[in-house]
Amino acid sequence: MKQPGPFAGDAFDVDEVVESVRAQDPGDVQSWHNAILNEVHADYLEGVCFNLAFTGDLEDVGAGPTAGVPPEEEAVGQNHFAVVLDASGSMAEASGSGTRMDAAKDAIATFAEDLPPGSTLSLRIYGHGGSNTSEGKAESCESSEVVFEGGADDAGLNEALGEVEPVGYTPLAKAIGDSVEDIPEDSSDAIVYVVTDGLETCGGDPVQAATDLAAAGVEPVVNVIGFDIGNADQQALRDIASAGGGEYTSVDSGQALKEYWDKENGRMAVAWRDWRDQELERIRGQAFDDDQANLDNSDLLRTTSFEEREQSMAVVRGLEEDGLIGYEERVGILGLIDEREQPIRVYAGEQRSGNFAQGRATLEEYEAGINDLGSERWTEYYRKSLGN
């Protein structure tokens, strides 16, 4: 950490150093060595500071690790899946062996079972208040409620689904707008699935609601699933999905809805794999760069120490040639020069090994925990699969 001498490195001039050392009039071997070192002491500051600052951390991992400590039990950056389910009266119409609502409930429960471990899920229903009569419209159009939020594998979801009954009108815009509150603050990714069997019947603007939702918070993807929707109404739902940065899908049965969500789980798995592969490549590349910087720094310290040694020895030869020191002083000073260089070389080697081991350990932590990280949002890859 000492400041370099006035004749260190490229500034070295053996004759000027000899004269400067002579002027100090050293009295013994140690004093001669100190006088020489004062003039040619090399600049080790950069190399030492590199070692002091080295942590092995892999930076820019967003919501992932900081200070080299990966999260322990987080799932892909805390994914959240928000299901917004139509509970208007028309969902009571027949579909297969049951009703549209029965089919939707069954498909939602199956979808939740296959979500990534640790993901969170919310279920919002709308149109379940009031009635589908003119007297009950006002209450129905204000009905939008979260009936479940928690882990995707929480048994409470089935209980919540079991209590949903189709009743009233379709406040689609309100439900989409309200769903922004369903996404936890610590989520790094979110996908909203709006399941409906009809268009807005409460005077709202679902396209604007989807636009606002897609721009809020973690900028969720908004997908719309039309259940038994007539051809004339499908474009309106496509517009909602497009505004939400997602896609519109039409299904005509509970089985078709299940198949849709099976495909969704597959698409999410591919998106996650693509994110994982790029993230692994990125952090391994950064680890490689850190290793190279560590090696370069060790070489810098060794080269600097060797140059200081060579310059010091050149000064000793000059002093001897000028008759300022004799054989015994020369041997003694050269011994001190060697004693100084050796621990610097050892330090450089030990720091290189220690830094390398620290970097490897951190990389292994990141690799082992990569499935728990959500640094760059993997939904960017999901969006690409939608063509957005």
Residue 336 Cα distances to 147, 284, 328, angstroms: 79, 43, 13
For residues 223 and 246, the answer to whether their CB atoms sit within 8 Å is yes
Number of compact structural domains in the chain: 2
Last residue of a domain, one of 252, 267, 297: 252
Determine the distance from the C-alpha atom of residue 81 to the mean position of all C-alpha atoms in its chain, rounded to a whole number. 19
pLDDT (average), residues 19-28: 94
Q: What is the pLDDT of residue 73?
A: 36
Tokens representing 92 are 């009571």
Domain end position, chosen among 213, 231, 252: 252
> Are both 203 and 331 inside the same structural domain?
no
pLDDT score, position 159: 93
267 located within any domain: no
Q: Are residues 197 and 335 in the same domain?
A: no
How confident is the model at residue 59, as a pLDDT? Answer: 55
SS3 category, 89: helix
Instruction: Fill in the amino acid letter for 28.
Output: D
The whole-number pLDDT of residue 280 equals 85
- 366 located within any domain: yes
| Same domain, residue pair 86 and 220 | yes
Final residue in a domain of this structure, among 252, 273, 308: 252
Residue 339 within any structural domain of the chain: yes
Distance between CA 298 and CA 306 in Å, rounded? 12
Residue 111 near residue 134, CB atoms below 8 Å: no
Q: What's 101's domain CATH number?
A: 3.40.50.410
In this structure, are 116 and 221 located in the same domain? yes
Per-residue pLDDT tens over the stretch 131-166: 989 999 999 999 999 999 998 778 899 999 999 999
Tokens at 301, concatenated:
């310290």
* Residue 26 and residue 168 in one domain: no
Same domain, 142 and 233: yes
Tens digit of each residue's pLDDT (9 = 90 or more) over 303-352 = 999 999 999 999 999 999 999 999 999 999 999 999 999 999 999 999 99
The reply to whether 107 and 172 lie within a common domain is yes
Same domain as 136, residue 35:
no
Q: What is the pLDDT of residues 81-106, one digit of tens each?
A: 999 999 999 999 998 889 999 999 99
In a domain, 262, yes or no: no
- 387, two tokens: 């063509």
Q: Are residues 100 and 191 in the same domain?
A: yes
Q: What is the pLDDT of residues 219-247, one digit of tens each?
A: 999 999 999 898 889 999 999 999 999 99
Identify whether 269 is part of a domain: no
The tokens for 59 are 């930076």
Quick check: helix, strand or coil at residue 48?
helix
My answer on whether 185 and 330 are in the same domain is no
Residue 257 belongs to some domain of the structure: no
Can you give the residue range of the structural domain that contains 248? 79-252
Separation between Cα atoms, residue 144 and residue 126, nearest integer Å: 4
57 found inside a domain: yes
Alpha helices in 67-221 (DSSP H): 100-113, 137-141, 156-162, 172-178, 206-214
105 and 228 part of one domain = yes
Long-range contacts, 94-101 (Cβ 8 Å, 24+): 95/227, 95/228, 95/253, 95/254, 96/253, 96/254, 96/255, 98/254, 99/166, 100/166, 100/197, 100/227, 100/228, 101/164, 101/165, 101/166
Question: Do residues 204 and 285 both lie within one domain?
Answer: no
Structure confidence at residue 388 (pLDDT): 67
Please give the pLDDT value at position 65. Answer: 31
Residues 379 and 116: beta-carbon distance below 8 Å: no
Length of the chain: 388
The per-residue pLDDT for range 249-268, each reduced to its tens digit, is: 999 999 999 999 999 988 88
Q: Please state the pTM of the whole predicted model.
A: 0.69
In a domain, 132, yes or no: yes
